[in-house]
Chains A and B, each alone.
Chain A
């Protein structure tokens, strides 16, 4: 079956530091890959996605590249802000129903 493994948090950084949150997956076929973000007290929001190998998703300074050879979709940002503090979920979806499988989430805390 499908599964997603994310690095455990919390990840604690100072403002303007470089961010990497690792995500690897196991799936049959060719899934779409997603990063969702959940700010405190809010629902999940799509941050970025990639639908095929070597695609790069990007949004709000965040990037992730679909690496089929390493089954990875690591999230990166060059310079984090305090407002980026949230929980980040890696997910994959495949098949006609596109029911996503989520990782456990990684909490990011950015200090001024």
Chain B
């Protein structure tokens, strides 16, 4: 049973650069979520997909952030013109429609210099 995977696990970038993260959910899970977690805080919701449709976006998701799930399987989260305040752990989670339990990936840690 393969869990949720995320790539890369770590990313160091310079301010102003664009970065893209990938999430591969558990194969039969049609719901996919992105979160941001900063040190000492719980995960904060960013956006949610049901299949390929992006159904909800948090106010935290500024216009520099965009997420896609083109075929209803893997998803990408892109951050344009990164800022130091974007430094955080970006978490992906998925679940099937039959349960409210989410399964989390290991996260991508972003450091913006």
The complex places the Cα of A98 from the Cα of B101 at a distance, in Å, of 9
Main secondary structure of the interface of B (DSSP, over half): strand
The complex places the Cα of A45 from the Cα of B107 at a distance, in Å, of 12
Q: Are A103 and B42 neighbours in the complex by a CB distance under 8 Å?
A: yes
Total residue contacts A-B, CB cutoff 8 A: 53
The complex places the Cα of A43 from the Cα of B102 at a distance, in Å, of 12
A44 contact from B48, B56, B91, Cβ within 8 A: B91
Report the interface size class on chain A: 20 to 34
Q: Are A104 and B41 neighbours in the complex by a CB distance under 8 Å?
A: yes
Interface residue? A42 (CB, 8 A): yes
Interface residue? B29 (CB, 8 A): no
The smallest beta-carbon distance between B103 and chain A, in angstroms, is 7
The smallest beta-carbon distance between B67 and chain A, in angstroms, is 14
Q: Looking across the interface, which residue of chain A has its beta carbon closest to that of B99?
A: A98
Interface residue? A46 (CB, 8 A): yes
Q: Are A45 and B48 neighbours in the complex by a CB distance under 8 Å?
A: no
A43-B100 CB under 8 A given contacts A97-B56, A102-B43: no
Q: Which A residues contact B (CB, under 8 angstroms)? A: 4, 32, 34, 36, 42-46, 49, 51, 89, 91, 93, 97-105
Q: Which B residues contact A (CB, under 8 angstroms)? A: 4, 31, 33, 40-45, 48, 50, 55-56, 91, 93, 95, 100-107
